Structure 1
């Protein structure tokens, strides 16, 4: 068992950059790699620090799944810019990706050819596809990237190490479950044995820190803290964690749909763990979250539970778990 040293190591940021590259499907580099690339481009390259919570946002679906709306229905779709600004669009489900991208261009002034749209971990590249084809439903959020071209030079995503919190890292990679039960927020907490946890800087980010609970190793819950869950960012043949969670919930007494799916089970989360390669070794990445128990819905399945939190503000990623897997 070992605690991380204060300060983000080059090895850690490189590993995270490669993990984010695999998860986003877009190049993410360290600050040092960015400087090297910029020199090669003779300065014609601009940094875009990657907010780590963006990785989480790009891989969940906050809008409902399933039933297709009638052709006459007008749906509300949110376009979220990198600045955090959200623009609401009222469109028909049969509007094409081309139509939607042109609307964003008209409203934001961003040239059409510099816009990249991401929904549910997928770039919307097929301009002929409809929003309905892409599973974009009422109140779904589509993320908007701006790719600079020509004289402006391209944007390069890079790991913003200032958003990491090394004093709270913890290395569970050589540890195993000894049967001790741990609880957080009144729910069983499955510690990430076999993984190394990199902490995200979230202390004092919100109005209080009660949701995190007190620092230190403890088995009992603390008053006001939130339970722990995990979220995989990869897509499987069956879909991602949000789509599968929704499918499991259909036909039950409550038809769940809108909200954020995660799981308290690492076994379940590992099914959706994004794999990537670094220095010839294979790794997996999952995100560790705190979830408010307010209105939390539990969807039971054969492999374990899925949690649905209807309010996306009440689930907060606070750690990144990475483990090496056999080749």
Structure 2
């Protein structure tokens, strides 16, 4: 396969992954005359974070038949939004309109990376009280939607498909780095996103952040945040909500999103760097299960890779 064909195949594979994650049809090719909507992989990666409660849960003022949601607005301000328990998506939008003035028809809500559809309820998306939703820019319904290729960094892609580290150890940011063996890692373009590039270093140097992973799916009907939260119950932390991830790619796989490409099944996991200064480690009580990590803010988690692996069983149609 020549370079151009390989690049196109990679692009199609990533597009299939994000179509599944977002619950939205993404186009792989458009004519030059088409007006297109571009989705930043860097920006969308941040909407996939697994937010959840941490430690003792403070009492809320919502009535018994209502629940509290957190809405991360376009300006990165997070607001509290109280709605009926198991509210419909359009009811959540109406409440946001009441609170912030954004018309419902101008809202696009994302939860765990997936675009929410009117007519569906919170339970349809496994959305619990105190979940975090992202309000993002509205897409024009008539325009094709594509991934913004400029938000990828192919030079730093790495194919771990046939690599086995066995007893070999790697360190990033003072923590063991379990490389995503068996996956192909697609790099995000982060060259101009932060104050410097020390955080993404590869030599365990000063300012380097350790590596973590997360998936947008659920395992035994629980997200990585829900399982992580169980390890914090009854304990006190300096924060009550956080972003959950894991340094263990094998644990992250359990929460991976499955998708189909060319009649074969794949899984996709997100790769991050996390701020070591604000990192809390949660040791699982289950033998053979890796650690969970929780960070107090999404600013303590930085996206930099998308890991995709083919799984053995064929897609069923």
Coarse TM-score class (shorter-chain normalised): 0.7 to 0.9
Corresponding residue of 1:217: none
Q: Is the 8 A contact 1:248 1:299 kept in 2?
A: yes
> 1:213 offset after TM fit, Å?
1.1
Corresponding residue of 1:57: 46
TM-score by length of 2: 0.81
Q: Is the 8 A contact 1:118 1:124 kept in 2?
A: no
Q: Could you say what secondary structure the match of 1:294 adopts?
A: helix
Distance 1:310 1:6 in 2: 42
> 1:170 offset after TM fit, Å?
0.9
Q: Could you say what secondary structure the match of 1:197 adopts?
A: strand
> 1:174 offset after TM fit, Å?
1.1
Distance 1:48 1:322 in 2: 24
Q: Is the 8 A contact 1:20 1:55 kept in 2?
A: no
Distance 1:143 1:235 in 2: 22
Distance 1:142 1:326 in 2: 34
Corresponding residue of 2:209: 226
Q: Is the 8 A contact 1:8 1:161 kept in 2?
A: no
Does residue 1:21 correspond to 2:19, yes or no? yes
Q: Is the 8 A contact 1:232 1:286 kept in 2?
A: yes
Does residue 1:146 correspond to 2:146, yes or no? no
Unaligned 5+ segments in structure 1 are 215-219
> 1:239 offset after TM fit, Å?
2.0
Worse-superposed segment, 98-107 or 72-81? 72-81
Does residue 1:80 correspond to 2:68, yes or no? no
> 1:304 offset after TM fit, Å?
1.1
Worse-superposed segment, 89-98 or 237-246? 89-98
1:188 maps to which of 168, 176, 188: 176
From the superposition, tell whether residues 321 and 78 of structure 1 become closer, same or farther in structure 2 (CA, over 3 Å): same
2:167 maps to which of 151, 155, 179: 179
> 1:137 offset after TM fit, Å?
2.4
Q: Could you say what secondary structure the match of 2:20 adopts?
A: helix
Q: Could you say what secondary structure the match of 1:29 adopts?
A: coil
Unaligned 5+ segments in structure 2 are none
From the superposition, tell whether residues 90 and 24 of structure 1 become closer, same or farther in structure 2 (CA, over 3 Å): closer
Computed over aligned residues only, the root mean square deviation of the Cα atoms, in angstroms, reads 3.3
TM-score by length of 1: 0.78
Does residue 1:321 correspond to 2:301, yes or no? no
Q: Is the 8 A contact 2:73 2:79 kept in 1?
A: no
2:60 maps to which of 69, 73, 88: 69
Distance 1:210 1:7 in 2: 34
Q: Could you say what secondary structure the match of 2:134 adopts?
A: strand
> 1:60 offset after TM fit, Å?
2.4
2:253 maps to which of 264, 270, 274: 270
Q: Is the 8 A contact 2:153 2:187 kept in 1?
A: yes
